Amino acid sequence: MNIGILVSGRGSNMAAILDAIQSGDLNVNVSLVLSNNPQSPALRRAARENIPTKVVNHRDYGKDREAFEAALDAALRSEGVDCVVLAGFMRVLTPFFVRRWKERLINIHPSLLPAFRGLHAQRQALEAGVKLAGCTVHFVDEGTDTGPIIAQSAVPVLDTDSEDTLSARILEEEHKLLPLVLHWLAGGRISIENDRVRIARI
């Protein structure tokens, strides 16, 4: 399976994917690392691994989101990408892009969806006083963090937690969960029935 990874920042989830590939725990090919930010540190890590990289800077397109997303789409297709992974990609994708990659576009979000959608999910969890937080890998649909849930991992919320400490603990789980889901996808174990994800047993 050829995957394309969309990043905007440091790319720690991208790094977790690359580490899983190198360790032999994940058998996928990263065909492209694509960023809207030319200063993204993730691009440098990918380049060191001889993975093709490309920048499609959203600022070059002004308010024309469709043109920006068309450029993203063209770049991914030119590298033969089968599945797109959003790994800290800080742009909201419109239906124009989402429909083109329906059921082949996944995201990782730092909450136990459907709770705490959108930005600052860890802060939302602390403010709500929940005792469990975590992360979710899901298919992307046209809503905000509303697509079919593939897998989740929970962490306790401690009385002493700050947004930073909770975020760090959730991120550790993200780094485990995302490669695992890609392993399932590559093995053909994931299907969607009536907007619900089924994971076949081995």
Residue 18's pLDDT is what?
98
Q: Which helix (H) or strand (E) holds 133?
A: strand 132-139
Confidence check: pLDDT of 202 > 90:
no
Q: What is the DSSP string of 101-121?
A: TTTSEEEEESS-TTSS-SS-H
Do 89 and 8 contact (CB within 8 A), yes or no? yes
pLDDT band at 193 (very low <50, low <70, confident <90, very high): very high
**Tokens, residue 48:** 């060191």
- 130-167 CB burial, b ≥16 within 10 A, e <16: beebbbbbbbbbeeebebbbbbbbebebeeebeeeebb
For 55-63, what is the mean pLDDT? Answer: 97
Confidence check: pLDDT of 148 > 90:
yes
Do 5 and 33 contact (CB within 8 A), yes or no? yes
Residue 136's pLDDT is what?
98
Residue 85's pLDDT is what?
98
Q: Which residue has the tokens 């619900």?
A: 196
Average pLDDT, the chain: 97
User: Could you give the domains of the chain?
Assistant: 1-101 (3.40.50.170), 107-202 (3.40.50.170)
In tens, the pLDDT along 77-124 reads: 999 999 999 999 999 999 999 999 999 999 999 999 999 999 999 999
Q: Which residue has the tokens 């440091």?
A: 10
In tens, the pLDDT along 20-30 reads: 999 999 999 99
Cα–Cα distance measured from residue 60 to residue 77, given in angstroms and rounded to the nearest whole number? 21
Residue 129's SS3 state is coil
Cα 200 to the center of its chain, rounded Å: 22
The residues annotated as belonging to the active site are: 109
Burial of 22 (0-12, 13-18, 19+ CB in 10 A): exposed
